[in-house]
Copies of this chain bind each other. A is one copy, B any other.
Amino acid sequence: MEIYDVIVIGGGCAGASAGMYSARFNMSTLVFAEQPGGLITTTHLVENYPGIKKITGPDMGQVFMEHAMESGAKFEFSRVNTIEKVEHEGKPVFKLEAGGKEFFAWTVTLATGTKHKHLGVPGEEEYANKGVSYCALCDAAFFKDKTCAIVGGGDSAAIEANILSQHCGKVYVLVRKDFMRAEPVNQDRIEKDPKVEIKYMTEIESIEGDGEKVTHVKLKDGSDLELDGVFMAIGHDPQNELAKQIGAEVNERGDVIINREAETNVPGFYAAGDITDAKFKQAIIGAAEGVYASVMSYNYLQELHG
C-alpha cells in the first residue's frame, strides 16, 4: 500500500504550484489533473502574473505543470470521485478513488477550481458544442461572420462580446437586468461597436435548433432571435464536492474556507486557488496558496511522524 505524502487534486496554477513546492520539499507528491493546466488555459493572454510579462493561457498552464513535473511531482490525468479519512497504523490517512483505483495520502490539497455556470434552459445540453459554448475565446473563431449571442451582464460578458465581435458578423449581449456591471473600459468598447447590440431585460426561454446545430433562441417575451451561437458568461461554480465529502467548511458561495496559510478546518486537508474563499481570485493568489499548502503539509507530516 503506497501512501503519498501529498496528493494534490487539480492541475491548474494553484495545484501545479502546490505539486512543485511539495516535490521540492522531498515529499512524495501526486497531482490529479483532470483538466491539465486548469481554467487559465481558456484565457487568451495573461499579462498580470508578476514576473511573467506576457504569456498565452495555454502556455501558462503548460509551464506550471512542467515546473511541477520537473521538480519530481507525478501526474494522473483522471478525476477523483471520492475522498474519505481512514486509518493506517493508528494514523489518519486520506483514501481517494479515481478511475476505479484507490490512492492514499497523508495530506491532500484541494485545487479543483471552478466550472462555468450553465443557464439551465431547454436545448442547452442538447446543443452543447453545437452552437452552445462556455468559452468565447476557445470557440469564437468557429463563428466567422455568423450571428451570436453572449448571455450575461458582468465584466466577462463585455469582454467576451469584444472577442466575439472580432469574428462574428453580429453580436447580441443578452442582459437579464436593465444594466450591466462591466468595467467602464469594456462597457464603452461594446457600446461603441456597431456589430454589438445590447438587449437589456432579456432572458432566454429555450435554445432551439434543427437537431444538428442552433438556429435560434426563444426569449421570455415570446419573440424569437435567430442566431448561430449562444455563449454563456454567467459565472462559475466552485468544484467543492470533495470538500463536502471530507467535511471541509464552505461559505455561502460554496467556496472552501481557508486561513492565510491555506488550512481548512480538516487537519491535513488544504485548499488553494479559485476553489477557496479568497477575496480576489487570480493565478498569483492561487499559486501562493498552493505554496502555503505545501509548507503546511510539510509541517503536518513532521508532527504526524515525529
Q: Chain A residues in contact with chain B, CB under 8 A?
A: 13, 16-17, 20-21, 24, 47-53, 60, 63-64, 66-67, 70, 259-261, 278-280, 282, 284-285, 287-292, 295
B63 engages A53 (CB within 8 Å): yes
Contact B295 A291 (CB under 8 A): no
Residues of B within 8 Å of A280, CB to CB, are 261, 291-292, 295
A interface, over-half SS: helix
Could you tell me if A21 and B49 are in contact, using CB atoms closer than 8 angstroms? no
* Distance in angstroms between the alpha carbons of A230 and B265 in the assembled complex: 48
Smallest Cβ-Cβ distance to A18: which chain B residue = B50
Choice from B20, B50, B67, B287 contacting A67 with Cβ under 8 Å: B50
5 contacts between A and B (CB under 8 A): A21-B48, A51-B52, A260-B278, A261-B280, A284-B291
Contact A24 B48 (CB under 8 A): yes
Set B24, B52, B70: member contacting A52, Cβ < 8 A? B52
What is the oligomeric copy number?
A: 2
Bound: A278/B49 CA distance, A: 20
Q: Please give the distance in Å from A63's CB to the nearest CB on chain B.
A: 6
Inside 8 A of A21's CB, which chain B residues have their CB? 48, 50
Q: Which residue of B lies closest to A260 (CB)?
A: B260
Can you name the residue of chain B whose Cβ is closest to the Cβ of A287? Answer: B50
Are A53 and B24 in contact, CB atoms less than 8 angstroms apart? no
Q: From residue A49, how far is it (CB to closest CB) to chain B in Å?
A: 6
Whole-angstrom distance from the CB of A283 to the nearest CB of chain B?
Answer: 8
List the B side residues contacting A20 at CB < 8 Å.
48, 50
Q: Is the CB of B287 within 8 A of A291?
A: no
Nearest Cβ on chain B to A185's Cβ, whole angstroms: 8
Q: Which of B48, B63, B260 sits near A51, CB closer than 8 Å?
A: B63
Question: Among the listed B64, B70, B288, which residue makes an inter-chain contact with A288, where contact means beta carbons less than 8 Å apart?
Answer: B288
- Is A51 a contact partner of B53 (Cβ separation < 8 A)? no
- Specify the chain B residue showing the minimal Cβ separation from A289: B288
Check if A51 sits within 8 Å of B13, measured CB to CB. Answer: yes
- Complex alpha-carbon distance, A290 and B51, angstroms: 12
Residues of B within 8 A of A24 (CB): 47-48
Q: List chain B residues, Cβ under 8 A from A17.
A: 50-51, 284
Taking a contact as CB atoms under 8 Å apart, the answer to whether B259 and A50 are in contact is no
Q: Which residue of B lies closest to A295 (CB)?
A: B280
